[in-house]
């Protein structure tokens, strides 16, 4: 069973990485971009489906709830 977990900076958090990329991208494309935010992508494989385990992993290891939100997707 394969899970995909996406971790994103919370909306209220300033994302300086995203800002820097946006600036460069706008220059390269010569086009305005409204916003870029940078997150993390994880692929986790386990033998049997276990949503609870994956949720625990995403909440306590892969993300920091003070600054990040996470989303679990099943493939």
DSSP alpha helices (H): ranges in 7-73? 16-29, 51-57
CB-nearer residue toward other proteins: 30 or 35? 35
* Residue 64 C-beta: closest distance to other proteins, Å: 6
Q: What is the DSSP code (8-state) at residue 60?
A: I
* Residue 68 C-beta: closest distance to other proteins, Å: 9
Cα–Cα distance between 52 and 60 in angstroms, integer? 12
Token readout for 49 is 């489906």
CB-nearer residue toward other proteins: 42 or 55? 42
Please report, as ranges, the residues that interact with other proteins according to CB under 8 A.
13-14, 16-17, 20, 61-62, 64, 66-67
């Amino acid at each position: 069973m394969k899970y995909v977990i996406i971790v994103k900076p919370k909306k209220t958090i300033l994302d300086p990485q995203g800002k820097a990329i946006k600036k460069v991208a706008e220059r390269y494309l010569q086009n305005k971009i409204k916003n870029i935010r940078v997150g993390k992508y994880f692929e986790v494989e386990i033998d049997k489906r276990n949503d609870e385990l994956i949720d625990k992993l995403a909440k306590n290891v892969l993300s920091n709830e003070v600054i990040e939100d996470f989303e679990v997707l099943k493939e």
